[in-house]
Amino acid sequence: MARDTVGDPGKLRLLKERPRDDAAIEEMTAAAFGPDRVHKTVYRLREDVAPLKDLCFVCIDRKNRLVASIRNWPILVNDKWPAVMLGPLSISPELRGLGYGKALMWHSMAQSRLQGHSRIILVGDPEYYNQFGFRRDLCLNLQLPGWVEDRRFLALELVAGSMIGVHGMIGKPKPKRRKRS
């Protein structure tokens, strides 16, 4: 049985996440990360915060199945430096290792840069994320509001030097004030 491959452009579509994708993404993320994922530190930063809609993407295969997704969230370092928190990146378990995650990562990073973001932070396996330029040393002056394995706490400068001087606790963005009519 032939499998879809990223190398064949006729078999892969990257789209902005659509509202109808929520259930499939949740199911795929649960399969990838398990039920305990919601107790992890990064989930605290996502609670009651909307993801960055223009930076959430899905991968659709030639059979029109959602096979991978990536989400990005707004965060604020030390109440003054905005950043993007990447994750989760979820791939259907039977399709891991075929390049769907890489395609989503490169696309998401390019879109983040095009939209004017200067830094991305994540908690993930350095063995995977180092290939995209994520580094541990860029997070040495940052803290998360809970425990994570230090080696998995990584950052990427979308703009050279954008992590210089950035320090402190990572938190949720401040709520936007409503304009008075």
Predicted TM-score of the model (pTM): 0.87
* Most confident residue range from 4-13, 15-24, 41-50, 160-169: 160-169
Extract the tokens encoding 144.
């998360």
Q: Which of 17, 69, 71 is nearest to 49 (CA)?
A: 71
- Provide the pLDDT for residue 179: 62
Domains, the chain:
9-171 (3.40.630.30)
Task: Mention every residue, 6+ apart, whose C-beta is less than 8 A from residue 38.
Answer: none
* pLDDT tens figures, 71-108: 999 999 999 999 999 999 999 888 888 889 999 999 99
* pLDDT tens figures, 9-31: 457 799 999 999 999 898 888 88
Query: Alpha helices, DSSP H only, in 115-149?
Result: 126-129
Separation between Cα atoms, residue 172 and residue 74, nearest integer Å: 7
Separation between Cα atoms, residue 110 and residue 98, nearest integer Å: 20
CA 151 to chain centre: 17
Location of structure tokens 């997704």: 69
Separation between Cα atoms, residue 86 and residue 89, nearest integer Å: 8
What backbone phi and psi angles, to 5 degrees, belong to 44? -65, -35
End-to-end CA distance of the chain, in Å?
61
